[in-house]
Amino acid sequence: MPVIRRLPPTTADRIAAGEVVERPAAAVKELVENALDAGARRIAVTLEGGGVDRILVEDDGGGMGPEDLALAIERHATSKLPDEETLFRIQTLGFRGEALPSIGAVSRLTITSRPPDGEAHALRVEGGRVDDVAPAAAPPGTRVEVRDLFFATPARRKFLRSAGVESGHAIEAVRRLALAWPAVAFRVTVEGRVHLDLPAADRAGRVNAVLGPDFAAAVVPVEGRWPDLSLDGLAALPTHSRATAAEQHLIVNHRPVRDPLLRAALRVAYRDVLASGRHPVAALFLEIPPDQVDVNVHPMKTELRFRGADSVRGALIASLRRALGTGAGVGGTRVGWDAAAAPAPAADWPSRARAPEPAPAGGAVTWADGSASPAPAPVGFAEARPVFSAPPPPPPVQARFHLPPGIATVPAAPPSLPPDAAAEGPLGRPLAQLLDTYVLAEAPDGALVLVDQHAAHERLTHERLSAQLVSGGVRSQPLLLPAVVDLPAAAAARLLGQAEALSRLGLEIEAFGPGAVLVRALPALLGNPEPGPLLADIAAELSEWEESTALERRLDAAVARLACHGSVRAGRRLNPAEMAALLREMEATPRAATCSHGRPTFLRLGEADLARMFGRR
């Protein structure tokens, strides 16, 4: 008795359909791609029962005559490969002969099509059984109706989710294609209600319509040009991130993809500015010669294989880092909590802003009084010292109310800085220091800005250390008396194993008996931090990276730790010159909107935010 048998064509078609038609959204995606390849300028999608009961896709594309219509539902028949060489330079989204037979094998399929200068014809397929082509009445274009999806493979139906969930996946599939094809109008109707209605637009208009005004208000442009690659798009600042990677829209040659290489490049570009567990938001459009990319490595064509993968990855990372290298306050900025939510009680809303360390009891408000002196020059904050003596504040007004604990009595009105100080940058002029931890400033447009002094200075120090590292090594400062630091044996061994790499960071160490490390020099930029906690933290950071981890990544982690220990702490009183210098340097330092751990360095409250918080709108 033979062991191997040839499957009936119907069974083979249903098995093949499982690779292409995973769920209703996959059928919608294939049909909409066919419409786009046919040159459609308007595409309408209708869903019933989550797409299981009915899918209708109508377009005004080129349409098909009766001969082409009969061939369209046959295996290995396509209009998209005019010759064999085209297979190696695909310029279409898919193969019409691939999707339609698969859908027809597991559903009741009706295709009605009419070319611009011909008559309309219809063809019906039920569970793989094909009827004859018949005359029909229809406008130019193609109308594809899918009913009772998976009726021929009921086991597949058992694994589908609710109608609402399946509809959501289908809408998302159309949404991604709409982002890639802004010149085409899209409409999606679910159970008689319009859920997506996008008229034809330019790329910027489509991005704004698909991703929303919040994204449009918090982005920077991304652009790059190389001989075989061009990159355009928008990337959200780190303050506009998400808990998942769902809003990462990567378009390659008008094809939406979820390619691992491109997503990894996006993650690497943001790794120093996003907190752990957060994901960037971006809409990036790559154009690459078709013969430099293979689109047939995944049944759904959502993953690609690039001929020059390293070059593509490097170009994407370089372009994103260049775009994100803006100073604080440049580009869109959002507050650090949901300002659109219902107004919170006055005692509640400040708790949502992160304090890096517990603020000391009895912290005071320090007004930035610069009226007797010109605004300080934008010197480095680490070296900033008072450049003027602030006059004593005027006598406090007799209080007509009781101030809460921890807030000192304030004058009737804060002294003003010189008029030109307000126009120095987007973070504005410093007004006060709150709780010896936060700098309060007024932006040029009147918005309030709260700066976390430790987080902000941490980023400034990080960028300086990184710049020195790139230019040849961090400058070190020898200690007058070398310090001996006792550590667990494993931590000491880990540090000594990386002694050569740490020397590039200005940290010179050597062995000093079992479980002890001798520190001879520290990075000059850090001042005089305690070497014990610093070495303990760097050892802990190194323990999280395997030996195979690239040296660059381990050095980045160590730089972040150095920056944290070399930064001004919460609880330190700042004078007016230091507050102003901090704001000016934040504006001039790349990636200063977040600290080395990805947390925000400042919060901005505009007129609309304040109105919402107070319930005025």
Residue range 473-565, CATH number: 3.30.1370.100
Q: What is the mean pLDDT of residues 48-70?
A: 93
Q: What is the pTM of this model?
A: 0.65
The residues, ordered by sequence, that sit 6+ positions from 592 with a Cβ below 8 Å of its Cβ are 327, 328, 456, 459, 460, 463, 585, 586, 601
Task: State residue 87's pLDDT score.
Answer: 52
The structure tokens 């000192």 sit at 408
Q: What angle do CA 572, 577, 581 make, to 5 degrees?
A: 90
Give CA–CA dist 61/51, Å, rounded. Answer: 23
- Cβ atoms < 10 Å from Cβ of 15: 13
For the stretch 486-499, pLDDT in tens is 888 888 888 888 88
Residues 327, 586: contact at Cβ < 8 Å?
A: yes
149: which 2 tokens? Answer: 């999806």
Q: In what order do the strands lie in the sheet with 366-367?
A: 366-367, 429-434, 438-442, 448-452, 602-605
pLDDT tens digits, residue range 294-332?
776 665 667 778 888 888 988 999 899 888 877 666 554
Tell how far CA 249 is from the center of its chain.
9
If you average pLDDT over residues 576-584, what whole number do you get?
Answer: 88
What is the DSSP pairing of strand 54-59 with strand 141-147?
antiparallel
Residue 244 reports pLDDT greater than 70: yes
pLDDT of 250: 93
Q: Which CATH class is domain 349-391+405-457+570-613?
A: alpha beta
Which of 129-155 are b and which e, b meaning 16 or more Cβ less than 10 Å from the residue's Cβ? eeeebeebebebbbbbbbbbbbebbee
Three-state DSSP state, 292? helix
3-state DSSP percent of the chain in helix, strand and coil, to 5: 35, 20, 45
Given pLDDT bands bounded at 50, 70 and 90, which one contains residue 372? very low
Q: How do strand 282-287 and strand 248-252 relate by DSSP bridges?
A: parallel
pLDDT band at residue 248 using 50, 70 and 90 as cut-offs:
very high
Kindly give, in sequence order, each residue whose CB lies less than 8 Å from that of residue 66, ignoring residues fewer than 6 positions away: 121, 133
Three-state SS string over 192-208 comes to CEEEEEECCCCHHHHHH
Burial group, residue 368, by CB count within 10 angstroms (0-12, 13-18, 19+): buried
Q: H-helix or E-strand containing 178?
A: helix 163-180
Report the distance separating Cα 44 and Cα 49, nearest Å. Answer: 17
Rounded distance between C-alpha atoms, residue 444 and residue 131, angstroms: 71
The arithmetic mean of pLDDT across residues 423-437, rounded, is 83
Where do the structural domains in the chain lie, given as residue ranges? 9-200, 204-324, 349-391+405-457+570-613, 473-565
Q: Which CATH number fits domain 204-324: 1.20.1260.10, 3.30.230.10, 3.40.50.980, 3.90.550.10?
A: 3.30.230.10
Average pLDDT, the chain: 76
Between these two residues, 508 and 47, which has the higher pLDDT value? 47
Residue 17: its pLDDT value, please? 58
In which region does residue 403 sit, left (phi positive, over 0), alpha (psi from -120 to 50) or beta (all else)? beta
Q: What is the pLDDT of residue 351?
A: 31
Strands 108-114 and 141-147 come out as antiparallel
pLDDT the model gives residue 79: 59
Question: Could you tell me whether strands 42-48 and 185-190 are parallel, antiparallel, or unpaired per DSSP bridges?
Answer: parallel
Whole-number Cα distances in Å, 307 to 137, 249, 267, 343, 398? 47, 22, 21, 53, 75
Question: In this model, does residue 565 exceed pLDDT 60?
Answer: yes
pLDDT greater than 50 at residue 60? yes
Q: Give the tens place of pLDDT for each residue, 105-144.
A: 889 999 999 999 899 999 999 988 999 999 999 999 999 9
C-alpha to C-alpha distances, 101 to 31, 104, 482, 495, 579, nearest whole angstrom: 12, 5, 77, 62, 68
The correct CATH number of 9-200 out of 3.30.565.10, 3.30.830.10, 3.50.50.60, 3.20.20.150 is 3.30.565.10
Helices (H) and strands (E) in the chain, counts: 17, 24
> How far, rounded to the nearest angstrom, does the alpha carbon of residue 524 sit from its chain's CA centroid?
35
Average pLDDT over every residue of 541-567: 62
Mean pLDDT of 604-611: 86
Reduced to 3 states (helix: H, G, I; strand: E, B; else coil), residue 112 is strand
Distance CA 582, CA 454 (A): 10
Nearest one of 588, 274, 598 to 460, comparing CA atoms: 588
Give the Cβ contact number of residue 199 at 10 Å: 13
Do residues 20 and 153 make contact, with C-beta atoms less than 8 angstroms apart?
no
Residue 320, judged by CB atoms within 10 A of its CB (0-12, 13-18, 19+), counts as buried
In this predicted structure, what is the pLDDT of residue 88? 52
- Judge whether 265 and 585 are in contact, CB under 8 Å: no
